[in-house]
Amino acid sequence: MSEGVTPLLEVDGAGVTYHGRHGGPPVRAVDGVDLTVAPGEVLALVGESGCGKTTLARAVLGLQPLSDGSIRFDGLPLPRSKAGLRSYRRKAQLVFQDPTGSINPRQSIYEIVAEGLRIHRERADEGGRVAAALTQCGLRPPEQFVHRFPHELSGGQRQRVVIAGAMVLQPRLLVADEPVSSLDASVRGEILQLLLGLSRDNGMTVLVVTHDLGLAWNIADRVAVMYLGRIVEVGTTEQILSMPRHPYTRALLSVVPEQQHLKQQILTGEAPDPAHIPVGCRFHPRCPVYQSGDAERLGILEACTGTDPVLLSGVACHAAR
């Protein structure tokens, strides 16, 4: 990131802790995340289910209060008041995974896209702005779509409507949570192209939450890998996906189909419960470096079992030093 440019988002030691189920231990869904996002960039937040990426994304949008740490948007902390959050929501928007569930089947396409404008009482030229947003998102000509209803459109078109509904407010940040995972394969490319295009053309920052590394390769400038509530590696897409340094990232990449040149490292078991985060490096029980004895050879055995590594030059791993 160039000097002198205020990052759009600064996440500092963010934590989100839920109460444990039935009196069990508390669930640390997000456990100390530091992240900066530059204006206009596309950042992919990758990780498997339960790693906390969706919780972090919702916290960034103000939909989930933080238990620890802080988030700053454009230099200012996120508002807490209702009115403050409301005006923040004009600047930071969300696109969900399931386009069908996130639109009201009783509303016409026009109403769905105009909803944001109406909520924020921006009546001036409502029709024009709706048409512009629809056109911007590839639903041309807009006249053909405004009177239709969601069930008349395909999955890909519905996702475009959702994106248009977010774009009509001209946000500075768009958070897309698994934007194409419920769409047909042949339709993915166009939606991803749309997101990338919207970012480049409008200088809009996009935070994509996904478990699909190929998606990150397709549209992200930078990638942040999350595991059990922490970011374990962050860097440019080329760095992370071609020369990963964290053992978890390496393992993830090795099992992506068609990465035949990498030796497959299938991790045993499932990702552990965020209610029982391992002591020391949270990844060490599944870490190939630890299990193979390399950790011992490198002399970091005690560190792996005792100290939680911090992000240093983009990677949180004792072995990477």
Partner 1 sequence: MSDPLLDVRDLHVTYRSSRGPVPAVRGVSLHVDRGETLGLAGESGSGKSSLILALLRLAPPGTKVTGSIVLAGEDVMTMRPGRLRAVRWGEAAVVFQGAQHVLNPVQRISRQIQEAIDTHRSSNKVVDLLAQVGIPRWRAHAYPHELSGGQKQRVMIAMALACDPELLIADEPTTALDVMVQAQVLQLLADLQRDRGLAMIFITHDLSVLSTVADRLAVMYAGRLVETGPAREMLRGAKHPYTKALAAAFPTIGDHASRLAPSGLSGDPPDPIAVPSGCPFHPRCPIATDECAVTPVELASVASGWEVACLKV
Partner 2 sequence: MSSAAWTRRRASARRVWRQLRSDRTALVGLILLALFVTMALTAPLFAERTELQAAAGRNNPDLAAPSGKFWLGTDDIGRDVFALVMWGARVSLYIGLLATVVAVVIGSVLGLIAGYSRGWISRLMLAIDDFFLVLPFIPLAIVLALLLGRSPTVLALVIGGTFWAGGSRLIRAQVLSLRERGYVERATALGASNRHIIVRHVVPGVAPLIIANATLIVPGAILAESTLAFLGLGDRFSPSWGKVLEGAQASGALTLNAWWYYLPPGLCIIGLVLAFTLIGNALERIFDPRLVGR
- The residue ranges that bind partner 2 (CB under 8 A) are 61, 63, 82, 85-87, 89-90, 93-94, 96, 98, 101-108, 110-111, 115-116, 118-120, 146-147, 149, 162, 165-166, 169
CB atoms within 10 A of CB 10: 17
H or E stretch including 52?
none
Which of partner 1, partner 2, none binds 266 (CB below 5-8 Å, type-dependent)?
partner 1
Cβ distance to partner 2 smaller for residue 104 or 264: 104
Residue 164: CB minimum distance to partner 2, A: 12
**Using rule CB under 8 A, residue 149 touches partner 1:** no
Q: Which residues contact 277 (CB under 8 A, 6 or more apart)?
A: 28, 31, 228, 229
Count, residues near partner 1 per rule CB under 8 A? 40
Residue 85: CB minimum distance to partner 2, A: 7
Q: Which residues contact 92 (CB under 8 A, 6 or more apart)?
A: 60, 61, 62, 73, 171, 172, 173, 174, 175
Q: Which of 136, 157, 159, 249 binds partner 1 (CB under 8 A)?
A: 157
Q: How far apart are CA 239 and CA 225, in angstroms?
A: 12
Query: Per the structure block, which two tokens stand in for 107?
Result: 């509303």
**Using rule CB under 8 A, residue 161 touches partner 1:** no
Q: How far apart are CA 253 and CA 241, in angstroms?
A: 7
Q: Which residues contact 184 (CB under 8 A, 6 or more apart)?
A: 155, 156
Stretch that binds partner 1, among 33-41, 72-80, 191-199, 297-305 (CB under 8 A): 191-199
Which of partner 1, partner 2, none binds 162 (CB below 5-8 Å, type-dependent)?
partner 2
- 3-state class of 93 per DSSP? strand
Residue 235: CB minimum distance to partner 1, A: 14
Q: How far apart are CA 250 and CA 321, in angstroms?
A: 16
Q: Which of 79, 155, 278, 285 binds partner 1 (CB under 8 A)?
A: 155
Cβ distance to partner 2 smaller for residue 118 or 276: 118
H or E stretch including 145?
helix 143-146
Residues that bind partner 1 (CB under 8 A): 48-49, 154-157, 184-193, 196, 211-214, 217-219, 237, 241-242, 251-253, 255-259, 264, 266-267, 270-271
